[in-house]
Every structure is written in C-alpha cells, then in structure tokens.
Amino acid sequence: MENFHVAIVLFTVLVLIIHYLVTQTKSKKPSPPTLPSLPILGHLHLLKKPIHRSLAALAALHGPLLSLRFGSRRVLLVSSAAFADECLSKNDATFAYRPQFLAGKHLGYNYTTMVWAPYGDHWRNLRRITAVEVFSTARLNSISHIRREEIFAMMRTLMSESVGYTKVNLKTRLFELVLNIMMRMIAGKRYYGDGSVGGEEARKFQEIVEETFAVSGATNLGDFLPALRVVDYKGSEKRLVRLQKRRDEFLQGLIDEHRGGGGRKSTMEVLLSLQKSDPEYYTDEIIKGILVVLLSAGTDTSALTIEWAMSLLLNHPRVLSKVRAELDHQIGSNRLIQESDLPNLPYLQCIIKETLRLYPAAPILPAHVSSQDCTVSGYHVPRGTILLVNLWAMHRDGKVWPEPDEFRPERFMEQEEAKEKEEVMIPFGLGRRKCPGEGLAWRVVGLALGSLVQCFDWDVVDGEPVDLGEASGLTMPKAQPLVAMCKVREHMKDKM
C-alpha cells in the first residue's frame, strides 16, 4: 500500500514537471516583432487617415507581421499574403471570431448579425440562409433578369440624356443602379426610375449606408481605451445609437410593408415565411440584421468597384480602347452584352481584378479576434488578439507585384502568372468569414462595366485626369466622386 502511495506521488510530480516544461516551452515562443509604444496609448498615436496607408507605412518600415498595442488591446497586423493565409486558413477556426466593438453592439443588433456574430451555431445558420436563399448559383441565375433590366434601364437613361458629349455624375448613377438591384432582390421594389417608390425613402437609405460605412471605418478610441468608453469620448456611442435608431426604423418599415404577403419571390418573403415556422428564432430583429448586412454591404461595395474601374479606364485610354475592341469582337454590334458573355471576355475580367487589387472595396478586412492562443509563423499569438489584414498593402507588395502602383490589367493575362497572382489577392477575404456575395459582385460589376464601355464613348472633364484620391471609411470611397463625359456610340442608339 505504501508503494502505491509513493507511485501516486511520483506520478503526480511527473505530471507537474511535464506541465511546467510544456508551459515553459510555450512561453518561450517569441512574440511577433513590435516597436516602441507609449504608455496607455500603445501605438494608437501612429494611426493617421486613411488608416490603411498609415498601417502600410508601418509594415514597410518594420515588416509584414507586426504585434501592436492599441490602448488595452493586442493587435496583430498582417500585410503579406503568406501571413494572411496562415491566419485565415491554417488558423481559420481560431480567428473566425469578431472583437466586441461598440459598432457591433449597436449597429450589429448586439452582435447577432452575420458580420458581428461570434463563430458558432447562430452564425452558421445566418451564413446558410444567405448562401441558399441569396447567393447560391441557382438563386443568382433565377434573378439574372433583375440585374439585366436595371443595368439596361441605366443605359437607356444615360442615352436619353446624352446630346453629344454630356457630363455625368457616375457615382450617383452607380449607387442608384446597385441599390435598385439589391432592393428588387430583397424587397421586390425599386427606388429609382420608372415604377419606383423614389423620393424620401431612397434618400434616407443612401444617407444611412454612407454613415454606416463612415462610422464603422472610424477608429473608436473607446474600443481600445475603456475609460473613454465610460465617458463616451466625442459622443461616439451617441452617434451610433442615433444611426441605429434610423436604420432600425427603416428596416422595420420594410418588414411591416411585406408582412402577410405570400410566395417566395423576394428574400424578404423567404425570411417572413421562416418567421412563421419558427417565430422564436426568426424574430424581427434577426430578420433586420440579415437585411441590413445585405443592403449595406451589397450596395456600396459593388458601386464603388465600378466607379474605381471607370476612373482607371478614363485615365488609361489605351486600356479602354483594348477592352472595347474585345467587346466588339466577342459580341459584335447587333446586341448588348449579357451575363453569359462574361466568361468570354478575359480582358474585361482582368480589368476588374486589377481594380480590386489597387482599390479593394474593404482595404482592411473587418477585424477578427483569436479565440485561443495560437502560433503564426513560429510566433506566439495570445487569445484575444485582434487581427487586422491590410489588403491594400498586400495587393501593392512590390515583392509580388512588379510596378505595384501601376494599373496594368495585362498582369493577369498569362495563365501561369495569373494563377499565382490570384492566390495572393483576396479582395473578398479568406476562410470562414469570407464575403459570401463574391459571385453576385462579379456578375453586377462585370455586366455594368461591360455595358458602359460597349454603349458609350468616354472622356475626362476639361482634359483633366480623374482624381484618384481616397476618402476614409470601412470601404474606400473616392475623395472626389467620379464625373465624366459620355457620348452614345452611334451603332448602339437603337439597341435599347
């Protein structure tokens, strides 16, 4: 019996020694490279607008993997494709969570929307609903007529207003186009053009979208310095509360308008039918959370991508002429471009890829946070570390992209080189939290951009190049909205 007790003691000691050695081994893993910081603030003082450029400057000086401290929060800044892949592929499950920022509390219905919900059953269910009912290939094919009708409607409007070369505010037109597409998909109605509800409701929604991306992209110091959150520094939380009240009223109006309707034609009707079968889960709040993500993310990002692409084409007439020649050769002059033509227009696809490389709709991916300790490239990353992936810096990495700041769609033309390039370009994110709307975005952007090039001759205003300055926000809007001169191509006048 005494020997048994001795064995137990020895075994316990052995276990404790092993645990100590393992713990010591873990703790000896180095932390990612860092740089000197200030007390309390950490590295917050280094952030300047636009944030993606200031973070890219830090990475250029100190390396593509950096450990920073924003106030009380650890931050892992990633600025290369290799490190992004390790975080969002190898450690995908660990980084599939979101930090609990104030924006998620108020704009994300207390962290219950698909953007802000923690990884788990609820998030998976939201992802499944949108994947099946909104973004599946079958669903996208079934509503292709909506995209075609709205894009052709915009072409007809531009043609009717064009007398010779006519000045056009493309930013406004593109936002109206994409909002009409998304609103018809989701609620079966349009805000602009013939048969639209138009007016005040459309104006309110545009203001809501613009402010949502502005406040979501702003650095809220209260998220990193708890004392400032307590006193609501600069009224940040009050602004979020006011914005959410307006958003909630708008979305509740959409739901009430469709309540009691039948059929499964629109996303709204699908969601309300789910509510009937499971009212405890599919509450109005959950439905509003789904709607706000679809409407906000689906509208602004695609419109911005088309605006940036047109801006680049106007500043590069050779590229514009080349893609027009491709359209004329593949489609001819007797009909308009269709979605089915897009796979046969490789240069048009390259222009979109190059636009997304230079001006990704989200220059910094929405923040992730680690749910447990993990290792990235041999470095120890503690639980609770915020992950920031700077796409803007990744996509302009001179080690990967020759002449990284140049607009050169041809870089995607050679198959072997293009495949390598596409593997290090992730404009829609990577891993579990990758944007589910990528397929829809490619269709909308491709058809709209192809139609604008096919139907019109384009030129800059007063011979001045388009200003490519960037404004701040969660997305990357142009500092100056795109205004251009357009003229109907003679042989396209009777095609609408």
Give me the pLDDT at residue 18, please: 43
Average pLDDT of the residues in 18-40: 71
Give me the pLDDT at residue 6, please: 39
Are 93 and 432 in contact by the 8 Å Cβ rule? The answer is yes
Spatial distance between the Cα atoms of 43 and 319, rounded to a whole number of angstroms: 42
Spatial distance between the Cα atoms of 346 and 326, rounded to a whole number of angstroms: 9
Higher pLDDT, 263 or 167: 167
Average pLDDT of the residues in 52-69: 97
Give me the pLDDT at residue 333, please: 84
List the beta bridge partners of residue 379: 376
Give me the pLDDT at residue 313, please: 98
Are 56 and 29 in contact by the 8 Å Cβ rule? The answer is no
Give me the pLDDT at residue 24, please: 43
Give me the pLDDT at residue 17, please: 39
Residues counted in the chain: 496
Are 117 and 98 in contact by the 8 Å Cβ rule? The answer is yes
- Cβ atoms < 10 Å from Cβ of 30: 9
Average pLDDT of the residues in 142-147: 96
Going by C-alpha positions, the residue among 108, 177, 8, 114 that lies closest to residue 432 is 114
Give me the pLDDT at residue 259, please: 83
Spatial distance between the Cα atoms of 70 and 223, rounded to a whole number of angstroms: 9
Are 101 and 240 in contact by the 8 Å Cβ rule? The answer is no
Give me the pLDDT at residue 267, please: 92
Spatial distance between the Cα atoms of 348 and 314, rounded to a whole number of angstroms: 15
211 confidence band (pLDDT: 50, 70, 90): confident
- Which residues, in sequence order, are CB contacts of 124 under 8 Å at separation 6+? none
Domains of the chain: 31-492 (1.10.630.10)
List the beta bridge partners of residue 168: 484
Mean pLDDT of the chain: 89
Average pLDDT of the residues in 5-20: 39
Give me the pLDDT at residue 198, please: 66
Spatial distance between the Cα atoms of 151 and 438, rounded to a whole number of angstroms: 19
Average pLDDT of the residues in 326-349: 95
Residue-wise pLDDT tens digits, 360-402 = 989 999 999 999 999 999 999 999 999 999 999 999 999 999 9
pLDDT for 440 beyond 60: yes
Are 133 and 267 in contact by the 8 Å Cβ rule? The answer is yes
Paired tokens of 219: 């650095």
417 confidence band (pLDDT: 50, 70, 90): low
pTM of the full predicted structure?
A: 0.91
Give me the pLDDT at residue 215, please: 77
DSSP string covering 447-483, please? HHHHHHHHHEEEE-GGGPPPP--B--SSS--BSS--E
Q: Looking at residue 359, what DSSP letter applies?
A: S
Residue-wise pLDDT tens digits, 189-209 = 888 887 666 677 788 888 888
Give me the pLDDT at residue 421, please: 59
Give me the pLDDT at residue 14, please: 45
Of all residues in the chain, the percent with pLDDT exceeding 90 is 74
Average pLDDT of the residues in 52-64: 96
Give me the pLDDT at residue 8, please: 39
Going by C-alpha positions, the residue among 491, 411, 483, 470 that lies closest to residue 168 is 483
Parallel/antiparallel/unpaired status of strands 65-70 and 73-78: antiparallel
Average pLDDT of the residues in 173-180: 94
Most confident of 27-31, 60-64, 156-160: 60-64
pLDDT for 289 beyond 70: yes
Spatial distance between the Cα atoms of 197 and 467, rounded to a whole number of angstroms: 34
Are 447 and 342 in contact by the 8 Å Cβ rule? The answer is yes
pLDDT for 133 beyond 80: yes
Going by C-alpha positions, the residue among 189, 165, 168, 177 that lies closest to residue 257 is 189
Burial of 27 (0-12, 13-18, 19+ CB in 10 A): exposed
Residue-wise pLDDT tens digits, 307-321 = 999 999 999 999 999
Give me the pLDDT at residue 429, please: 94
Are 429 and 81 in contact by the 8 Å Cβ rule? The answer is no
Of all residues in the chain, the percent with pLDDT exceeding 70 is 90
Higher pLDDT, 241 or 14: 241
pLDDT for 351 beyond 60: yes
pLDDT for 21 beyond 60: no
Average pLDDT of the residues in 463-474: 91
φ and ψ at residue 475, rounded to 5 degrees? -90, -175
Give me the pLDDT at residue 15, please: 36
Average pLDDT of the residues in 34-58: 95
Give me the pLDDT at residue 454, please: 96
